[in-house]
Amino acid sequence: MEINQEKSLSSLLAEVKDAQLFGQVDIVVNNIILDSRKVLPGSLFVALRGTQTDGHQYIGMATELGAAAILCEELPENRVTGTTYIQVPDSAEAMGHIASAFYGHPSKSLTLVGVTGTNGKTSVATFLFQLFRALGYRCGLLSTVQNQIEDKVIAATHTTPDSTALNELLAQMLAKKCSHVFMEVSSHAVAQHRITGLQFAGGIFTNITHDHLDFHKTFDNYIKAKKGFFDALPKTAFALVNVDDRRGAVMVQNTSAKIETYSLQTLATFKGKVISDTLAGMHMEINLQEVWFRVIGRFNAYNLLSVYGAALLLGEKADSVLTELSNLKSPPGRFEQFHSDDHVVGIVDYAHTPDALENVLETIAHLRSGNEKVITLVGCGGNRDAEKRPKMAEIACKYSNQVILTSDNPRFEDPLDILDQMKKGVPPLDYKKTKVIADRREAIFKAGLEAESGDIILIAGKGHENYQDIKGVKHHFDDKEVLLEVFEKRHSN
């Protein structure tokens, strides 16, 4: 179905506040474009102030390429006759409303649930997607790993796409008769108004710890960004928060939504308890009902509990929800286990924050017998929050018998600089057990060949990613592939 169509400009501006128009309003636009280089005749070009450059600089290019209208915060000195200029206080915010109107407000016809928090968004959104499909609904998913409309997979470029791409995807989901959509809401998305104009049926808060300070600058700003999602929820929605996180209460301080809670530690609407957790599965009690899950790890107990809570808040029955939930598997690259023929365990996990790494290593510490070695391989991304680098190395050392610091998407930084910053977190007593091997393939080979039967190798940070981002080029690289290759080599040796 062709969703992209012409829309009258005036119909798109209905929900945009404080817009001043210069030029004809009685025109049509045929798409919404943020990048001047992609403008086509009839486009509405949105000038956004970015982190690298200012879209206002490219208004001239957009009009030359035939833009019918320009949405901007500041009018250009030379306006072109025949082009309509819409001046607004915040282009990104206005674009949210315009994109939603352009695609016919798809979120209003869907049950849309957003998940925010530092860790667990992909896991919770994916579990909800799988659960509701198993319960018989047609569903859509927007996640870091991939977007999905029922079985159809659409590659994801961001955790949360920009408002135009997002509304286009929602419109496609609606056209494919989806009733429920589960999506991740990143802090960047809230700060940049990627979700403005959407109507949510519910919001879930997982947790908040150190991340993305490169973008938000302070932890307070980071908290405010996440809170912004709950502040904007309507009173028809639910706001489901993890009250074991000390920022849980703050998140919903100013929301109009119906506040509901989940916890493993205190009284809450949805109360869980981990009875046992092994490599084979997790035994939990949820609101006094006992249940076995295939998914393991205490951090996943939180994820499953929030999914259970959201499903009940959406009107599902406890028994059928627990039955279907118990069958679910973790998304790719989330505590994904591999076993060599001689019983070395390899775990590929997307832990790329100090908190996630600590959770995963605590889970391993809890599951291990104590006689085997835990070998942790970890790196930190380039052009991202540098504060987490020494912290992640320190956590790796605290829980492991051997540590290999390696590269993870160096982007435009020198991998050796990143590794030097990580090394600062290694306590002197742990120097001996820590190696630095910048080449990630070599690092996985080293760990995989030196491990002995029973040992556990954690390969952290890249999870499902199938590339190594070096100077803007994504080279194919897949932790699982390399791990399986080395396991095969052990077998043939």
Ligand X SMILES: CC(=O)N[C@H]1[C@@H](OP(=O)(O)OP(=O)(O)OC[C@H]2O[C@@H](n3ccc(=O)[nH]c3=O)[C@H](O)[C@@H]2O)O[C@H](CO)[C@@H](O)[C@@H]1O[C@H](C)C(=O)N[C@@H](C)C(=O)N[C@H](CCC(=O)O)C(=O)O
Ligand Y SMILES: N[C@H](CCC[C@H](N)C(=O)O)C(=O)O
- From the annotation, which residues make up the binding site? 34, 36, 117-123, 159-160, 186, 192, 194, 384, 408-411, 461, 465
Candidate list 105, 389, 462, 480; residue touching ligand Y; CB under 6 A: 462
| Residue whose C-alpha is closest to residue 92's, from 142, 66, 56 | 56
Of residues 127-186, those binding ligand Y (CB under 6 A): 159
384 scored as a contact of ligand Y (CB under 6 A): yes
Of residues 286-305, those binding ligand ATP (CB under 6 A): 299, 302-303
CB of 356 to ligand X, least distance (A): 11
Q: Is 113 helix (H, G, I), strand (E, B) or coil?
A: strand
- List the single partner that 407 binds among Mg ion, ligand X, ligand ATP, none, CB under 5 to 8 Å by kind: none
CB of 395 to ligand ATP, least distance (A): 12
Is the backbone of residue 150 left (phi > 0), alpha (psi -120 to 50) or beta? left
Of residues 86-145, those binding ligand ATP (CB under 6 A): 117, 119-123, 144
Q: Assess contact for 172 and 205: CB atoms under 8 A.
A: no
Choose between 277 and 479: whose C-beta lies nearer to ligand Y: 479
The amino acid at 45: F
Surface-to-core class of residue 104, CB atoms within 10 Å of its CB (0-12 exposed, 13-18 middle, 19+ buried): middle
CB of 225 to Mg ion, least distance (A): 15
338 scored as a contact of ligand X (CB under 6 A): no
Surface-to-core class of residue 317, CB atoms within 10 Å of its CB (0-12 exposed, 13-18 middle, 19+ buried): exposed
- List the single partner that 461 binds among ligand ATP, ligand X, ligand Y, none, CB under 5 to 8 Å by kind: ligand Y
Contacts 24+ apart (CB under 8 A), 428-434: 430/397, 430/403, 433/397, 433/400, 433/401, 433/402, 433/403, 434/393, 434/397, 434/402, 434/403, 434/404, 434/405
- List the single partner that 96 binds among ligand ATP, ligand Y, Mg ion, none, CB under 5 to 8 Å by kind: none
Candidate list 284, 461, 479, 480; residue touching ligand Y; CB under 6 A: 461
| Burial 180-204, CB ≥16 within 10 A → b, else e | bbbbbbbbbbbbbbbbbbbbbbbbb
Of residues 386-415, those binding ligand ATP (CB under 6 A): none
Q: Cα(62)–Cα(419) distance, rounded to whole angstroms?
A: 42
Q: Cα(312)–Cα(461) distance, rounded to whole angstroms?
A: 33
Q: Cα(260)–Cα(485) distance, rounded to whole angstroms?
A: 46
376 scored as a contact of ligand ATP (CB under 6 A): no
Q: Is 397 helix (H, G, I), strand (E, B) or coil?
A: helix
Choose between 165 and 252: whose C-beta lies nearer to ligand X: 165
354 scored as a contact of ligand Y (CB under 6 A): no
Q: Cα(316)–Cα(321) distance, rounded to whole angstroms?
A: 7
- List the single partner that 480 binds among ligand ATP, ligand Y, ligand X, none, CB under 5 to 8 Å by kind: none
Question: Can you give the binding site for ligand X, defined by CB under 6 A?
Answer: 34-37, 48, 50-53, 55, 58, 144, 158-160, 162, 186, 188-189, 215
Question: Where along the sequence are the contacts to ligand ATP (CB under 6 A)?
Answer: 117, 119-123, 144, 159, 184, 206-207, 299, 302-303, 334, 349-351, 355-356, 359-360, 463
